Structure 1
Amino acid sequence: MPTGLIVKALSGYYYVLSEDGQSTDSIQCRARGIFKKRGISPLVGDRVVYELTENGEGTVDEILPRTVELIRPPIANVDLAVLVFSIDEPALNLPLLDKFLVHTESAGLETHICLTKHDLTKDVDGAESGESTVSLDEAIRLYESIGYSLTVTSAKEGIGVTSVLDRLAGRISVFAGQSGVGKSSLLNAMVPGLQLETNQISMKLGRGKHTTRHVELIRLQNGGVVADTPGFSQLDFLQVDAEGLSACFREFAPYAEQCRFRGCLHLHEPDCKVREAQEEGQIAASRFASYLQFLGEIRDKKRRY
């Protein structure tokens, strides 16, 4: 039986793109009842074995083993997460970027940071770090020094679009970020004729409407597929515990292994090398502030449940 890739899931149907390389249209499929009995749901990004039916549709018979499974957004087998944040409208929010990075690190995903709306830089004073405003150049240097690749783009002016597109070649990627940061505009610039719906930013709220309502893989001409996920501004720490949070901050690692206590939370423990590194300027104050904020959120959530 043929194999394919689920590129969209909607209203109980799964749209499967054949891997035979001949068909460009997806096949509308239902999943066999055995999946429901086993408590399994096919996900966008799943490679599946399917069977064609007489009416031109199909049935999903088998889900092939997954390499990665994300809960939010619900997608499987992602190779790369592209965190899309705007330089302005809405303003660049570094604590929120740090929160997204915790989630991609905890999921073990390779991550690329994409800063959109470069055409607005003339009006930008800096990025909100939670405690102060840092310049855009300082923010870029910070995340590149930690080890993240980063591209500045403008869909309006065509800046950086090709660079991001090259990173997506031959991979399953997911675009994630707040509503209104320009994910759909960037994809429209990458895929001629795509025309994803975009919306203006609410200046009162500082964010956009949720123009993307379901996860769907969009095919690129370079062999990659990318998911434009529903925008959201809140993330819950469902998969990260207090002891594991430190490992989601890459720059903590060389210092954390020198802490006196295994499982050090870098709060008030004696001989905490992470705290010492922050006090000496080896770890950015904004990143350590994000760590403390997230640790508090995780502990509060644990107390509530």
Structure 2
Amino acid sequence: MLSGRIIKGIGGFYYVETERGIYECKARGLFRKHNTIPLVGDKVLIRVNEEDETGYIEKIMDRSSQLTRPPVANITQAIIVMSVKEPDINFWLLDRFLVMVEYEKLDTIICINKIDLAKDEELEFINIYSKAGYSTIMASAKTGDGIEELREKLKNNITVFAGPSGVGKSSLLNKIDKRLGLKTGEISKKTTRGKHTTRHVELIDIGFNSYVLDTPGFSSLDLSFVEEEVQLGSYFREIDKYSYKCKFSGCLHYKEPGCEVKKQMELGNIDKVRYKNYISFLEEIRNTRRY
């Protein structure tokens, strides 16, 4: 059998990159029986049909990481891309992305695109996330700002580029590697949201032992993976930092007395918008558990 990695999956066919080239493969019915679905990024063993040069996926190797949306495996880091304008940055959505990647324990970089459209004072919000412990890159696919920094971060990694439609993920990747020619979309003037241009999840080889996933844009993330309310705070780095000083163990940092997190928020060490989003997510999880 031949080892390889799934770089694309469309309509039940999986395209596996191997040392002998790329093979179009189907998955054995055995996987379906065990409720296992091959994912882009999976390391696999395939059996090649020499007659037509197609193959069957015989084995999926253990995964080091797995995301549900987008459905990918073995990612080593996430770059969350948001635009400062067109569309305006959505902190609620950014924080949902961050909760997801914190849950997956991925190294995370926040990339703010389209900085050419904003004044310096409009970019100061990034200090909120730098202070929380996140690496940040300010970029512009139009001017080339931040492109070299992004290129260096991608080397020797399998990176998921995540973010809503219209923020410029494909445009940034085209700047990073001019060979890609990824389709980009304009912003709908009526809705100010991006038109979906990436239709499937695909692993893209950009050289330097580097792969990226340019994923379909989406505007919401299901938080059902957070099994217990008390876990949510650990996915907000600055909340987790102070939570051990709370009066009660298992503090939800909501209405409990002696909460160090709320105290630090009032002191300005935890951003109020981040805290507000935390409470919004907490109430969502709580309400979902009632049904």
Identical-pair percentage: 46
**CA distance in structure 2 between the partners assigned to 1:143 and 1:106 by the alignment:** 17
1:14 aligns with 2:14: yes
1:197 aligns with 2:193: no
Which one is further off, 204-213 or 216-225?
A: 204-213
Give the match for residue 144 of structure 1: 130
Cα deviations by residue, 1:259-303 (Å, 9 ceiling, x for unpaired): 121111111111111111111212111111111111111112222
What is the CA distance between 1:197 and its match in structure 2?
1.3
- Match of 2:118, SS state, is helix
Among 110, 114, 131, the alignment partner of 2:107 is 110
**CA distance in structure 2 between the partners assigned to 1:255 and 1:185 by the alignment:** 38
Give the match for residue 132 of structure 1: none
Amino acid at match of 1:142: I
What is the CA distance between 1:254 and its match in structure 2?
3.0
What is the CA distance between 1:142 and its match in structure 2?
1.4
Give the match for residue 166 of structure 2: 180
- Match of 1:26, SS state, is strand
Among 31, 48, 53, the alignment partner of 2:27 is 31
Give the match for residue 60 of structure 2: 63
What is the CA distance between 1:46 and its match in structure 2?
0.2
Structure 2 gaps, min length 5: none
Amino acid at match of 1:62: K
The aligned length equals 289
**CA distance in structure 2 between the partners assigned to 1:277 and 1:161 by the alignment:** 36
What is the CA distance between 1:187 and its match in structure 2?
1.0
**CA distance in structure 2 between the partners assigned to 1:287 and 1:216 by the alignment:** 32
Cα deviations by residue, 1:123-173 (Å, 9 ceiling, x for unpaired): x8x7xxxxxxxx312x11111111100111111111111211111111111
Give the match for residue 272 of structure 2: 285
What is the CA distance between 1:253 and its match in structure 2?
2.1
What is the CA distance between 1:121 and its match in structure 2?
1.7
**CA distance in structure 2 between the partners assigned to 1:93 and 1:40 by the alignment:** 34
What is the CA distance between 1:47 and its match in structure 2?
0.3
Amino acid at match of 2:287: D
Amino acid at match of 2:281: F
Give the match for residue 235 of structure 2: 248
Give the match for residue 160 of structure 1: 146
TM-score (norm 1): 0.91
- Match of 2:245, SS state, is coil
What is the CA distance between 1:202 and its match in structure 2?
1.4
What is the CA distance between 1:106 and its match in structure 2?
1.2
**CA distance in structure 2 between the partners assigned to 1:156 and 1:26 by the alignment:** 33
- Match of 1:233, SS state, is coil
What is the CA distance between 1:204 and its match in structure 2?
2.5
Amino acid at match of 2:47: E
What is the CA distance between 1:250 and its match in structure 2?
0.5
Give the match for residue 204 of structure 2: 218
1:171 aligns with 2:157: yes
- Match of 1:220, SS state, is strand
Amino acid at match of 1:302: R
Among 269, 286, 289, the alignment partner of 2:256 is 269
What is the CA distance between 1:193 and its match in structure 2?
2.7
Which one is further off, 27-36 or 5-14?
A: 27-36
- Match of 1:282, SS state, is coil
**CA distance in structure 2 between the partners assigned to 1:84 and 1:282 by the alignment:** 25
**CA distance in structure 2 between the partners assigned to 1:16 and 1:254 by the alignment:** 42
1:47 aligns with 2:33: no
Amino acid at match of 1:27: Y
Give the match for residue 86 of structure 1: 83
Amino acid at match of 1:150: T
Cα deviations by residue, 1:172-200 (Å, 9 ceiling, x for unpaired): 11011110000111111122232211111
Let me know the Cα RMSD of the aligned residues: 1.4
Which one is further off, 270-279 or 186-195?
A: 186-195
Amino acid at match of 1:116: N
1:3 aligns with 2:3: yes
What is the CA distance between 1:97 and its match in structure 2?
0.9
